[in-house]
Structure 1
Amino acid sequence: MVKNERPFVVPALQEWTGGEGVFVPGVVRRELAPTGLGDEGYRLEITPDAATVTAETERGLIHGAATLDQLLARGPAPCGVAEDWPNYPVRGYLLDVGRRYVTPELIHRLLRLMGRFKLNELQLHLNDNEIKPPDGDWNRALHGFRLRSAAFPGLASPESYSRADWDGFEDLAAAHGITLVPEIDAPAHARSFIAYDPSLGHDGGDSDHLDLANPAATELVKAVITEFVPWFRGPAVHFGADEYYQSKELWQRFFNDMAAHIRSLGKQPRAWGGFTRLSPTGDTTGFDPDVVVNSWNNGFYGPEGARGDTYPLINSNDALLYLVPEADYYHGHGLDNEWLYDHWEPHVFADGERLDPGDPRLLGAMPALWNDLVRASYPQERMYELIEDSLPVLAQKMWSGSKAGLPYAEFSSRARP
């Protein structure tokens, strides 16, 4: 008999050895055992009588089950053996819920979608404000802080998440092999903190920048993070630290203070890369070295700026990976999926800048949907549609790169549920 060809799943399998015959839904076994395929890798053996997923971790078992689910959704599964693992440990997506609230139900749907395609991190950007206030008056600016606690009455927006909501996100994320990365952004994008205590704002509170010359501003951010860290089950907390223009020296002090504080709470600090443009020296001199950095813009801190540094990096390059619904910039109507499929992998950044494939600093990628246009009229379903449209391509390129081996049009057609 002819051996079964490699089956189509998203993302594509790293290795496949075809067998004979097919498996219809029946006995499925899950086994934790050494495979040599890493923390997220798995071995899937399919015979006519049973399908067996073997992995070293629960997350590997979840990924193997996701592959089997995709196969069975298309009919009887071909018999054979798959050995599969990701090229990168971070395969994420960021959703800006600070500028625009989304319901818990939509976050649940997004987690299920991400799990289907083996993405493993969802970063929730939990506070932010509109970029320019009406008539320049920051007191009229729309802003949001999306976690509520009695410890900070008035900080949270009316539309925000309770501890029960967050626990529901954590439970569902774990069931799909996903880690939540909470982001509380300061000292810019900080209008919610300033509305809570105007004395802590730059320019007498007429700003979305904290006045870092006032130590109480940093202490408030620390206290808020301390309050919510017990909610967070994942290893990392993102403290933002992007686009602060009031003082380079004070920004550096804030960066270092926040990194140390988050580590003291037992979490790994993450931040947006800004060293090239925002630091006193134009580089990483004097900065805490134990921070995971999202490289979001080449001019702020891209591959060229990072050359010679040791920071672990996540590719969030704005020119390639940012979505702003309905905007005339940053892919307002969807990412360029065909270009990404043909030309991109996590080591590729905009304007010809890139890291070497396999650079040990590169953890993976984190595309992002930003709700900059806070006064625009579009429903939360539009956000989901834009993410859903690009997720198969992104997942493919983050997991096994070009292993799909198909022209874009065929991949795109077959990837649709």
Structure 2
Amino acid sequence: MRCRPRRLACLLSLFVSLLALTLAVPVAPATAESAAVNARPTVVPALQKWQGGTGSFELRRHSRIVLFGRPGDGLRDQVAALPGELDQAAGRKLALSTRSAQDGDIVLAVDPTSTGAGGGAGFKKEGYTFTVTDRNVRITAPTAKGVYYGTRTLLQILLQDDGRDSVPVGTAVDWPNYKVRGLSLDVGRRFFTADFIRDYVHLMGWFKLNELQLHLNDNGFKGDGSWSDVQAGFRLKSDNPELAGLASKDGAYDRRDWDSFEDTAAVNGVTIIPEIDAPAHSLAFTRFRPSLGLNNGDSDHLDLSKPETTTFMKSVFDEFVPWFRSPDVHFGADEYTVDKPRYKTYFNEMAAHIRALGKHPRAWGSLSVMASDTDGYDRDVTLNSWNNQWYGPHAAKRDGYSFINTNDALLYIVPFANYYHGRGLDGKYLYDEWEPNVFPGGQSVEPQDPQLLGAMSAVWNDLTEASYGELDVHGLVEPTFGVLAQKMWSGASSGVPYDSFLGTVRRLGVGTGLTKVATTLATPANSELSLGRPATASEGKAGAAFDGVGTTKWESGPGDDAWLRVDLGRPETVSKVELDWAPAYGRDYAIQVSGNGTGWTMVAARTDRTSAGSDTLTFDPVTARHIRVVGTEAARKQDGYALWSMRVFDAPDLALHRPTTASSSEVPSLGPENATDGDGRTRWASAYRDDEWIQVDLGRAQTVRRVLLDWETASAADYDIQVSDDAEHWTTAATARGKPSGARVDELTFAPVTARYVRMQGVKRTSPFGYSLWRFEARTTSP
């Protein structure tokens, strides 16, 4: 502790501390037996095995990343980005070293002889041992990729720690259940920028997913129009004059782009699986060479009766396979609905040709439709089992194929369509019911069946004329990315309910190293007012403290005097501010509020703070539009201040997690509890009648003077807010009449009433549907 003459409080604190030391009675130190054993750290996907110890490892100012490797093991290249990732996730700048490990170091080692009990082949290729003592963190794996996955576990633990500098003592042994854990992305029908592809490779590594299949050509549907009006795309651009004009003009990847994908994939534990799809889905090829298409090119099917068609497709693979570093190349071969005998010949010739180019062939499973029997088809091809009728897992097993679960009914997303999960996959179903061995229609196979390599979700951009972009697709994919990773890596072993798991995914966000993609899962905590609101600061990127992203932070730059403020957009009741300090924390600071942004009133202050991490400051509710933290002394003047987040809160929501009932629910999954669960993505929906209600039991009589209703499009035109002491006799506290149709947020304030029960009593709907609420909140204060 340090004191300055002007600080009477500090001197008094020092005196009290000395007195306490004088009077203290010696106490025996806690033993390992009496200390609590550390629970398994919460990461996504969950660790396979954990043996908890006691205590924790703490990062020190002198901590380093120490590499123990052998020449050619790839360790240095695999973890070269880790110092920057640690800085982004934990605010700690650690150097790489190959010297002897010291206390406080993170030690990374490749040891081909290391074994993981129960991990089998999965451990040998991608597993790792994660050993933590109070002196070091040690990650050891048979391969550099395994070490990399261990560093994802380390980063996730630190990101969730208060202070982001502590790891619980214990030992984990971790490995994947399945070899293939992937995503297939249709870039043929909608171009995705190179920045997006690289970011998605980073995101996959963050959750230990390991295959990104790029569907490089495809086209829209003809419908009642003409093929000449249908969009078609081929996304590789070569300098070969014989292929000039094949690449799409609205976007294609050249060799430099592709090399950047491969380089990024290599250091993030990901393999790029390139897919060039023919003889169906081939409008890009029939436009380039009309003579090779059915009906003289007026088709998206190639004409396999012409030998030059197969010769041309072989030349395409000849041109681009040298770009590809993956051991596998996908040649499509799905949904070709004509000329079955020649399809078989094409299938076998292309599989053999890809092997001749040094790669293992993959294809979409279509043989149940394309063949009366599958005798004579090349068996040395890995198949995506995408539809039970076209070629289900039982048929693939019978015929001896290795296969990947890409089942359309469970794992397909067609963005914004009214089929194939147009609004995203069903995360709760996947989490509670699904595993990679699960197929619909009684087609499931045994877990870890030797022919089942794993699973892969898929995005298909069927709606080629729709106006959406790559970030919109990300918004559909991200909510279930962590769920799929969990099920593909360690299955049902997470040990927590879906809501808790999703909360962890939200905290983890999209990881480190991204430039274009950000998390879409940042949602305000209960009563949080500041998420995403406009912010300013004396210096630095103020918005980083209010974006809900765990890996961005506001930094003031050197000096003791700095401020950061947020504009809530209107006067709000404010009763609490939470600050999450990075290592450049504030020692002395105050919370101030203002109605107009010019005159400020202090409502809370902190002095002599001694560490990074979370600080919650509560105060009597005040009405304010602008809130700021004002620093007067930094922990280190040369560092200034840095905040991962600043969150401003309303008075508590009395209805949160309280028992909630309703007159009806449209379906069981849209029950009344969804309106008070604190999750803005779940909702209650009633039967299609006017006289419907939803009510919440506050547990005891409490003063209520404000209710918030967050309506889905099925909203109320007229309704009453009623209160009761016994849930039988009701008094109207507020009325709403003539409200507009559609989604909206209603906030009703009224004279204070004391009651145990609060309900919304519907009078008239705005639509033929019932009433539907995302949120039903009640508070004791109002602006």
Shared fold (TM-score, shorter chain, > 0.5): yes
Find the aligned partners of 1:319 and 1:276 in 2 and give their Cα distance: 17
Find the aligned partners of 2:486 and 2:344 in 1 and give their Cα distance: 37
| 2:57 aligned with 1:23 | yes
| 2:227 aligned with 1:149 | no
Q: Judge conservation of contact 1:342–1:408 (CA < 8 Å) in 2.
A: yes
Q: How does 1:368-387 map to 2 (within 5 A)?
A: 368-387=458-477
Q: Judge conservation of contact 1:19–1:78 (CA < 8 Å) in 2.
A: yes
Q: How does 1:71-82 map to 2 (within 5 A)?
A: 71-75=157-161, 76-82=166-172
**1:88 CA drift (Å):** 0.4
Counterpart residue identity of residue 143, structure 1 = A
2:314 to 217, 222, 232: 222
Which stretch has the larger CA shift, 47-56 or 339-348? 47-56
Q: Specify the alignment match of 2:153 in structure 1.
A: 67
**1:305 CA drift (Å):** 2.2
| 2:486 aligned with 1:396 | yes
Counterpart residue identity of residue 148, structure 1 = K
Counterpart residue identity of residue 298, structure 2 = D
Q: Specify the alignment match of 2:610 in structure 1.
A: none
Describe the superposition over 1:117-149 as per-residue Cα deviations: whole angstroms up to 9, x where unpaired: 00000000000000226x431122111000000
| 2:341 aligned with 1:249 | yes
**1:284 CA drift (Å):** 2.1
Q: CA RMSD in A?
A: 1.0
| 2:443 aligned with 1:353 | yes
Q: Specify the alignment match of 2:433 in structure 1.
A: 343
Counterpart residue identity of residue 236, structure 2 = L
Counterpart residue identity of residue 128, structure 2 = Y
Find the aligned partners of 1:304 and 1:123 in 2 and give their Cα distance: 24
Q: SS state of the match for residue 435, structure 2?
A: coil
**1:415 CA drift (Å):** 1.8
Counterpart residue identity of residue 245, structure 1 = T
Find the aligned partners of 2:410 and 2:356 in 1 and give their Cα distance: 35
Describe the superposition over 1:186-206 as per-residue Cα deviations: whole angstroms up to 9, x where unpaired: 000000111111000001111
Find the aligned partners of 2:231 and 2:270 in 1 and give their Cα distance: 31
Q: SS state of the match for residue 383, structure 2?
A: strand
Q: Specify the alignment match of 2:134 in structure 1.
A: 48
Q: Specify the alignment match of 1:95 in structure 2.
A: 185
Gaps of 5+ in 1: none
Q: How does 1:107-146 map to 2 (within 5 A)?
A: 107-132=197-222, 135-146=224-235
Q: Specify the alignment match of 1:32 in structure 2.
A: 110
Gaps of 5+ in 2: 1-34, 64-104, 116-122, 509-783
Describe the superposition over 1:229-282 as per-residue Cα deviations: whole angstroms up to 9, x where unpaired: 111001000000000011110111110010000000000000000111112x2x
* TM-score under structure 2 length normalisation: 0.52
Q: Judge conservation of contact 1:110–1:384 (CA < 8 Å) in 2.
A: no
Q: SS state of the match for residue 383, structure 1?
A: helix
**1:181 CA drift (Å):** 0.2
Q: Judge conservation of contact 1:122–1:181 (CA < 8 Å) in 2.
A: yes
Q: Specify the alignment match of 1:189 in structure 2.
A: 281
Find the aligned partners of 1:411 and 1:90 in 2 and give their Cα distance: 22
**1:357 CA drift (Å):** 1.4
| 2:291 aligned with 1:202 | no
Which stretch has the larger CA shift, 313-322 or 136-145? 136-145
| 2:163 aligned with 1:85 | no
Q: Judge conservation of contact 1:24–1:72 (CA < 8 Å) in 2.
A: no
Find the aligned partners of 1:304 and 1:411 in 2 and give their Cα distance: 32
2:357 to 265, 270, 274: 265
Q: SS state of the match for residue 284, structure 2?
A: helix
Counterpart residue identity of residue 311, structure 2 = E
Between the two proteins, what is the percent identity of the paired residues?
53
Query: Between Structure 1 and Structure 2, how many residues are aligned?
Result: 414
Q: Judge conservation of contact 1:303–1:354 (CA < 8 Å) in 2.
A: yes
Q: Judge conservation of contact 2:236–2:254 (CA < 8 Å) in 1.
A: yes
Q: Judge conservation of contact 2:192–2:470 (CA < 8 Å) in 1.
A: yes
Find the aligned partners of 2:437 and 2:222 in 1 and give their Cα distance: 33
Counterpart residue identity of residue 72, structure 1 = L
| 2:252 aligned with 1:166 | no
Find the aligned partners of 2:218 and 2:235 in 1 and give their Cα distance: 9
Q: SS state of the match for residue 423, structure 2?
A: coil
Find the aligned partners of 2:58 and 2:470 in 1 and give their Cα distance: 38
**1:307 CA drift (Å):** 4.1
Q: Specify the alignment match of 2:728 in structure 1.
A: none
Which stretch has the larger CA shift, 164-173 or 41-50? 41-50
* Greater relative contact order (CA < 8 Å, ≥ 6 in sequence): 1
Find the aligned partners of 1:397 and 1:24 in 2 and give their Cα distance: 31
Structure with greater proportional strand content: 2
Q: Judge conservation of contact 1:211–1:217 (CA < 8 Å) in 2.
A: yes
Find the aligned partners of 1:356 and 1:307 in 2 and give their Cα distance: 11
Find the aligned partners of 1:390 and 1:218 in 2 and give their Cα distance: 39
Find the aligned partners of 2:377 and 2:442 in 1 and give their Cα distance: 27
* TM-score under structure 1 length normalisation: 0.98
Change (3 A) 1:307 1:56: closer
Q: How does 1:232-381 map to 2 (within 5 A)?
A: 232-279=324-371, 281=372, 283-381=373-471
Which stretch has the larger CA shift, 352-361 or 12-21? 352-361
